Amino acid sequence: MSTVNDSEKSSQNGSPREPAGADPRRWRALALLGVLQFMLVLDITIVNVALPKIETSLGFSQAGLAWVVSGYVLMAGGFLLLGGRLADVFGRRRMLLIGTALFMVASAVCGAAQSPGMLIGGRFAQGLGEAFAAPAALGLIALLFTDAKERTKALGIWGGLTGIGGITGYIISGLFTTYLSWRGIFYINVPVALVLLFVVPRLVAENRMVRETRRLDFTGALVATAGLVGVVYGLLEAASRPWGSSSVLLPLIGGVVLLAVTLLIEMRSSEPLIPLQFFANRTRTVANATAVLFMAAFIPYSFLLTLFEQQVLGYSPLQSGLSYLPLGIAIGMGIGMSTGLTPKVGVKAISAVSFIMGGVGLLLTSMITKDSSYLGGLLPGMIILGFFAGATMPAMTNAALHNVTGQDSGLASGVQTTAQQIGSALGLATLVTLAVRVAGDKLQSGAAPAAAFTDGYVLSFRIGAVLLVVAGVLVALLLERGVATSPQPEADVAPVPVNS
């Protein structure tokens, strides 16, 4: 049985060249879901260029300012698995609409923020909205495109929007911050979300998995999120306090303990967020582990490079935002190459080479000095990293959904996106903390500010390069050969009428 309603009818009335059972609305639905993904990813990076203005406007401390970024990715990462399960049980379209509505309201709260607490609260709520909407959207794509070639193409487009959306955030942020107000970077989400809420029900059919029970592991989700918040809080505190201080150790230890408790809860739960057998598939496990490593390197790269441009090179917010255009173009080219070659060469070869070459790009970036130029110092590494980062996206998305049935498409997409968000949060907390600590030590020893900050950024870029190379080696050694891009039978998914 198809997971998309009216699929049998569309296969009879549609073009004979279309795959059997394909929904004729699938490409329009992909465009719409792509807009949603673009908006969600955009809000991870769109605040970066505006952070100095936000700090001055609302009276943030340096430590508090980091939560404007980390709060979003923590809530998204902590609740994505629950969001994926909610989508499987209660309907993917329904959860997508709920998540989008929550994201819209939270964006309005961020734009209207009058205090640091109000903005951080809004960012936490935005992350929760993404946790509900993102896995539902990716799960729908996995179900809409049942043909192997079409699915590879659709996931390539999806991965491209993920990468390009992150880069576009810098450009939009630079424009709004320079010519309008930092509040506009949040208000822009409201009309986009309204359009999505109106059009999605008209293009996407509802579907959900068949279950005897609808019990969900809310306790596991809450404890896991609390654990992640504790770990990230402790790492961020380490930027300005000794590693042995109670402000660092207590949240770190508490976070680790809570994460261990989460594992025990999941092992004993009758309805766990992630059934342990999900990781019995080696390809999916490797794909999600490398997603953590990739995002832990890539997100801090763009965050720290923005600070380098503005603090050391003296770029304006607009100049800093526009400097990322080549990165976005390179990502798009890498995605195009990977989408075309993956069915011929295979996920393993494309991903292993791309991760390692992405590490080379970061290593080139780590050669910067306080006197580096854009063309000679930043651009070469940016282009290499962007191209090969883009190449990993459609390939590894296929690997993360390897042998997933319609029953668990929401779970699989939730696990992948959770891995990405956790990698982002941990990467920011760790690499930004290291950069700040190195800069602080250099300043105390009498170094000039520009040289001190540059040394900190260089160390973090090099660690990021190592993470990408490790990801490439893991793929080369552990990923199964001949990873299929087609989904498994999906007779366990109950189609629901369009107007339900």
Judged on CB neighbours under 10 Å (0-12, 13-18, 19+), 184 is middle
180's tokens = 């309008």
Angle between helices 379-400 and 325-345 in degrees, nearest 10:
40
460 pLDDT tier (thresholds 50, 70, 90) = very high
- Hey, which residues does 208 pair with through a beta bridge? 494
Q: pLDDT tens for residues 190-205? A: 998 888 888 877 767 6
Q: What is the mean pLDDT of the chain?
A: 77
Instruction: Compute how many other C-beta atoms are within 10 angstroms of the C-beta atom of residue 438.
Output: 19
- Hey, which residues does 493 pair with through a beta bridge? 209
Helix (H, G, I), strand (E, B), or coil: what is residue 481?
coil
Whether residue 324 contacts residue 172, with contact meaning beta carbons closer than 8 Å, is answered with no
* Per-residue pLDDT, 142: 66
d(CA 437, CA 433): 6
d(CA 453, CA 435): 7
Whether residue 454 contacts residue 369, with contact meaning beta carbons closer than 8 Å, is answered with yes
Among 105-119, 123-137, 375-389, the least confident range: 123-137
Examine the pLDDT at 98 and tell me if it is beyond 50: yes
Whether residue 291 contacts residue 471, with contact meaning beta carbons closer than 8 Å, is answered with no
Q: pLDDT tens for residues 264-311? A: 887 777 777 676 677 777 777 888 888 889 988 988 888 888 888 887
* Per-residue pLDDT, 402: 67
* Per-residue pLDDT, 414: 67
Q: pLDDT tens for residues 41-91? A: 777 777 777 777 887 888 776 556 777 877 787 787 777 777 777 777 777
Examine the pLDDT at 364 and tell me if it is beyond 90: yes
* Per-residue pLDDT, 9: 42
379's tokens = 């651009």
* Nearest Cα residue to 135 out of 94, 182, 83, 188: 83
Examine the pLDDT at 380 and tell me if it is beyond 90: yes
Whether residue 34 contacts residue 158, with contact meaning beta carbons closer than 8 Å, is answered with yes
* Per-residue pLDDT, 160: 64
* Per-residue pLDDT, 462: 94
pTM of the predicted structure, to 2 decimals: 0.74
* Per-residue pLDDT, 217: 66
* Nearest Cα residue to 357 out of 390, 332, 323, 379: 390
* Per-residue pLDDT, 409: 58
* Per-residue pLDDT, 493: 38
Q: pLDDT tens for residues 382-436? A: 999 999 988 888 777 777 766 655 555 556 766 777 787 778 778 877 888 788 8
* Per-residue pLDDT, 359: 94
Q: 489 — phi, psi (to 5°)?
A: -55, 145
307 versus 149: the higher-pLDDT residue is: 307
* Nearest Cα residue to 358 out of 499, 468, 227: 468
Examine the pLDDT at 379 and tell me if it is beyond 90: yes
Q: pLDDT tens for residues 479-500? A: 776 554 444 444 333 333 333 3
Among 103-112, 125-134, 218-227, 428-437, the least confident range: 218-227
Complete DSSP assignment for 363-423: HHHTT--TT--IIIIIHHHHHHHHHHHHHHHHHHHHHHTTT--GGGHHHHHHHHHHHHHHH
C-alpha separations of 301 from 324, 389, 435, 442, 475 in Å: 12, 12, 11, 21, 22
Give the number of residues written for the chain. 500
Judged on CB neighbours under 10 Å (0-12, 13-18, 19+), 231 is buried
Whether residue 151 contacts residue 145, with contact meaning beta carbons closer than 8 Å, is answered with yes
Residue 202 amino acid letter: R
406's tokens = 């319609």
392's tokens = 């990993």
Instruction: Compute how many other C-beta atoms are within 10 angstroms of the C-beta atom of residue 105.
Output: 17
5 versus 103: the higher-pLDDT residue is: 103
Whether residue 141 contacts residue 154, with contact meaning beta carbons closer than 8 Å, is answered with yes
Among 52-61, 102-111, 117-126, 412-421, the least confident range: 412-421
**Rounded mean pLDDT of 314-336?**
84
